[in-house]
Chains A and B, each alone.
Chain A
Amino acid sequence: MSVRVGKADRAPAFPGAAKRLMGNTQLRQNVRRATDTIRGKRAKVVAEMADWEELRDAAHEIKEHTLRHLDFYLEQFETNCAGAGGQVHWARDADEANGIVIGLLRERGQTEVVKVKTMTSDETQLNVALQAAGITPHETDLADMIVQLGEDQPSHIVAPALHRNRAEIRQIFLKKMKLGELGDRPEDLAAAARTYLREKFLRVQAGFSGANFAIAETGSICVVESEGNGRMCLTLPEILITMLGVEKVIPTFNDLEVFLQLLPRSATGERMNPYNSIWTGVAPGDGPREFHVVLLDNNRTGVLADPEARATLDCIRCGACLNACPVYRQTGGHAYGSIYSGPIGAILSPQLQSMEHSRSLPYASSLCGACYEVCPVKIDIPEILIHLRGKLVESGYPPLAERVAMKVAAVALSDGDRLSAAQKLARLCQWPFEHEGQLRNLPGILGGWTAFRDLAAIPKESFRDWWSARTGGKDA
């Protein structure tokens, strides 16, 4: 079994990638403007809900309950979906999932497929596999289309093209849609996408989607969207394939009443997103005649096995933690090197890859807790970040120099005399770098701090020396 999360196994470590992206002022401005907008909208519509905390509590409990009984609910979903005319497939990893999708399309002679936005298929790199198999995928979500046409990577789990502004998007559309002219108002860009995709919606006979929720009790799937491209892909083709992670199942239809209140307000700051589609197997006379579901593990069961981190699987992919994160807001999503970026990506990406890749991500946080505050299902992301850092230390992750420095610090700080000796030594060594009481341009790994901010110099007299002189050596 090979677990793959997009191209995260080949991505550079976070600090280097972040530093490079921080130099891109246009990108930083785009990310800052977009996240400011969405944070404002979210705060307004969350404030309208007197029972927001009660909804969060219920969502958390439902998710925890579901994970405890995940085997039961998955089998129940399969039975009910099959009862309604759907067919359920199980995939251990990305390659197996992609293989199932390609097999289904090939057997039916399909050479094109219209796709609804899904992070899960980005995780399995389905588009790459489809193209290799001679099948053309058409992304139909506006942002995914911008990413696909721009040969780019998604930078946000809800708005994958959040790092692009309207002028950049216009350039991509002009080039790839072979348009003579095009305005740069968002309305013009949306209209261009409508015209470009309408022909494909009416012609292509295979649709592909992810799922926001799979309902065990009824065997139904729920897809949450805005543009109507989802409804097009779910309704007009003859064959529909839906791929979802095993953690997306919820027990009952009524549980939707919790998640459909939390998700839109958290994700896009809307009281309700423009469209939700819920369907159950195959509906006679309405929509696809054939429906397949691919249930993907891709090491979600590995995450489930860690009691301190399994709440990672509660995530409903709203993106609120990205928008709230002071680190994400500076670097944007690409620095994380994974399709799952921001705080949730920092815990999900390394775990899905058995902590073998994306190992710098649990450190890509100041542990400020903003992510936990806004999480609609109350995932304690800072706690999980600390837990994962612990796991990484045990596996020898941080570079040798950092580990040696920490050991030395532990020795120095554990004894008053040793601390005093260390301070004397530091006072001697700091003079070449001191300027008006601040240290600048420190050498070696210490330079990582002073490259971006000053550090107060160690004063001539320590508090202990001062106290000792004042009391004549006696304790007060």
Chain B
Amino acid sequence: MSDAKIEILEKIRRAVPPRPADRAVEYAGIARRYRQSGTLDRAACLDLLEERLHDYGAGVYRASRADLPAAIDRAAAARNKARLLIPGALPSEWPVGRTSRSAFFVMSEWLPDSVEFLPAESATYDDMDRAEGALTGCAAAIATTGTIVLRHSAAEGRRALTLVPDYHLCIVFANQIVETVPEALRLMHAAGAQLLTTIAGPSATADIEMTRIQGVHGPRTLDVILVV
């Protein structure tokens, strides 16, 4: 143990008041009277998420599973995107279903032909910087705060994929939507997430006169397709 560590821990032990022997019992006794789950039904949750995503400057599309390829095509065309990077695997939810085959080839079977999809697995950061955008899934979405949650599993890609490219098109399935922040974080913790990124709208700043300005270092444009 370093001298500094020994000294700091000793100072803490001298400084703190007498404490209960059972720390865990004391911790469990912390009153948590705040809302830990939602009350809205699925349709209301979906509406709320859409409204909040709009509020923070994201573009929002709704599509059925069958219409998903067309919705991707529509979203990409609206932003003039001809080529998008895609992560290394598919969410099991995606239309082609569960498969262990290379995602890129599987995805090309149903992804719209109008857009060229490039596998991001081998892309360098410079490649990502030059890319037009990225298409990914997500791990959860929080309606109350209009937040997308990524835990960087294969369907969401490594962290740089949804950061370096200037455009992020994210697909959210209705059953991934929760109403409150506690529900989403508990889901992620239960899934053993080691990495977690939450996204609420495109990158932004309030540093100039405390006014929210969209588009600084992260993707300047965020579109979300809600699959219902």
B207 to chain A, nearest CB (A): 4
The verdict on A13 contacting chain B, using a C-beta distance below 8 Å, is no
Task: Decide if A297 is an interface residue (CB 8 Å cutoff).
Answer: yes
List chain B residues, Cβ under 8 A from A143.
205, 207
Contacting residue for B197 out of A198, A231, A285, A307, CB 8 A: A231
B9 proximity list for chain A (CB < 8 A): 71, 74-75
In the complex, identify which listed stretch (A253-261, A395-403, A446-454) lies at the interface while the others stay far away. A253-261
A61 within 8 A of B: yes
Binds A, one of B13-21, B65-73, B103-111: B13-21
Segment with Cβ contacts to B, from A34-42, A374-382, A386-394: A34-42
Q: How far apart sit A30 and B219, CA to CA, in the bound complex (Å)?
A: 29
Given known A-B contacts A257-B181, A271-B144, A35 and B210 have beta carbons under 8 A apart = yes
Are B163 and A231 neighbours in the complex by a CB distance under 8 Å?
yes
9-residue interface stretch from A103-111, A187-195, A362-370? A187-195
* B12-51 CB contacts (< 8 Å) to partner A: 12-17, 19, 23, 26-27, 30-36
Say how far B45's CB is from chain A's closest CB, in angstroms. 15
Q: Closest CB of chain A to B181's CB: distance in Å?
A: 5
Q: Is the CB of B185 within 8 A of A260?
A: yes
Chain B CB within 8 A of A430 CB? no
Q: Which of A75, A194, A246, A257 has the most chain B CB atoms inside 10 A of its CB?
A: A257
In contact, B158 and A272 (Cβ under 8 angstroms): no
Q: Contacting chain A: which of B77-85, B94-102, B131-139, B145-153?
A: B145-153
- A65 interface contact, C-beta 8 A: yes
A304 at the interface (CB under 8 A from B): yes
Report how far A453 CA is from B97 CA in the complex, Å.
Answer: 76
Q: Do residues B31 and A58 form an inter-chain contact, with CB atoms below 8 A?
A: yes
- Given A256-B185, A272-B147, are A54 and B34 also a contact pair (CB < 8 Å)? yes
In Å, the complex CA distance between A37 and B213 comes to 14
Alpha-carbon gap, A295 to B4, bound state (A):
10
Q: Which residues of B contact A293 (CB under 8 A)?
A: none
Contact of A280 with B by CB under 8 A: yes
Q: On chain A, which size bracket covers the interface?
A: 35 or more
User: Which of A127-135, A221-229, A331-339 lines the interface with chain B?
Assistant: A221-229
- Whether B199 and A62, one on each chain, are in contact in the complex, defined by CB atoms closer than 8 angstroms, is no
Residues of A within 8 A of B34 (CB): 51, 54-55, 58, 258, 261
Contact between B186 and A274 (Cβ–Cβ < 8 Å)? no
Scoring B152, B185, B206, B211 by chain A CB atoms within 10 A of each residue's CB, the highest score goes to B206
Digitize A292-308: 1 where CB-to-B-CB distance is under 8 Å, 0 elsewhere.
00010100011011010
Would you call A194 and B4 a contact (CB within 8 A)?
Answer: no
Q: Which residues of B contact A276 (CB under 8 A)?
A: 196-198
Given the interface pairs A57-B31, A254-B186, the reply to whether A304 lies near B210 with Cβ below 8 Å is: no
Q: Does A67 contact B (CB under 8 A)?
A: yes
The stretch that binds B, out of A16-24, A161-169, A404-412, A416-424, is A161-169
Q: Which of A89-97, A347-355, A466-474 contacts B (4 or more CB under 8 A)?
A: A89-97
Contact B144 A190, beta carbon cutoff 8 Å: no
Question: Considering the chains assembled together, what is the distance between the CA atoms of A378 and B182 in angstroms?
Answer: 21
Interface status of A171 (Cβ within 8 A of chain B): no
Instruction: Bin the interface of chain B by size.
Output: 35 or more
Residue numbers in A under 8 Å from B5 (CB-CB): 90
* CB contact list, B107-159 vs A, under 8 A: 125-126, 129, 142, 144-147, 152, 158-159
Q: Are B211 and A286 interface neighbours, CB within 8 A?
A: no
Pairwise interchain contact B125-A70, C-beta atoms closer than 8 A: no
List, in ascending order, chain B residues with CB within 8 A of A72's CB.
23
* 0/1 interface trace, chain B 193-222, chain A, CB 8 Å (1 if under): 111111111111111111111111111000
Closest B residue to A229 by CB, please name it. B217
Interface pair B204/A226, CB less than 8 Å apart: yes
Residues of A within 8 A of B12 (CB): 70-71, 74, 246, 301, 304
Closest partner residue, chain A, to B189 (CB atom): A253
Judged by a CB distance under 8 angstroms, whether A434 is at the interface is no
Docked Cα-Cα span, A273 to B34, in Å, equals 20
Residue of B nearest to A40 (CB): B210
Contact of B30 among A65, A74, A141, A273 (CB under 8 A): A65
Q: Is B160 an interface residue (CB 8 A)?
A: yes
Q: Which of A230-278 contact B (CB under 8 A)?
A: 231-232, 234-236, 246, 251-254, 256-258, 260-261, 268, 270-278
Q: Report A203 CB to chain B, min CB distance, Å.
A: 10
Cβ contact of B218, chosen from A61, A96, A161, A227, cutoff 8 A: A227
Enumerate chain B residues within 8 angstroms of A34, measured Cβ to Cβ: 209-210
A72-108 toward B: CB 8 Å interface, digit per residue (1/0)? 1011000000001000011110001000000000000
Find chain A residues with CB under 8 A from B186 CB.
Answer: 254, 257
Pick from B16, B23, B186 the residue with the most CB of A within 10 Å: B16
Question: Whose C-beta in chain A lies nearest to the C-beta of B162?
Answer: A231
Assembly CA distance A263 to B103 (angstroms): 38
Give Cα A69 to B23, complex, Å: 8
Among A30, A74, A301, chain B packs the most CB atoms within 10 A around the CB of: A301
Q: Does A142 have its Cβ within 8 Å of any Cβ on chain B?
A: yes
| A342 close to B (CB within 8 Å) | no
Known contacts A273-B200, A276-B197: A227-B205 contact under CB 8 Å? yes
Residue positions of A touching B, CB distance < 8 A? 30, 33-35, 37-38, 50-51, 54-55, 57-58, 61-62, 65, 67-72, 74-75, 84, 89-92, 96, 140-143, 146, 159, 161-162, 165-166, 169, 186-187, 189-191, 193-194, 197-198, 201-202, 220, 226-229, 231-232, 234-236, 246, 251-254, 256-258, 260-261, 268, 270-281, 283, 285-287, 295, 297, 301-302, 304-305, 307, 310
New contact pairs (4) apart from A256-B185, A286-B160, CB-CB < 8 Å: A30-B209, A33-B209, A226-B216, A286-B195
Q: Can you list 15 residue pairs at the A/B interface with Cβ under 8 Å?
A: A71-B16, A159-B210, A202-B129, A226-B205, A231-B217, A234-B159, A258-B34, A261-B181, A272-B142, A272-B181, A274-B204, A280-B194, A304-B16, A305-B14, A305-B15
Binding site for A on B (CB under 8 A): 2, 4-5, 7-9, 11-17, 19, 23, 26-27, 30-36, 52, 56, 125-126, 129, 142, 144-147, 152, 158-160, 163-164, 181-182, 185-186, 189, 193-219
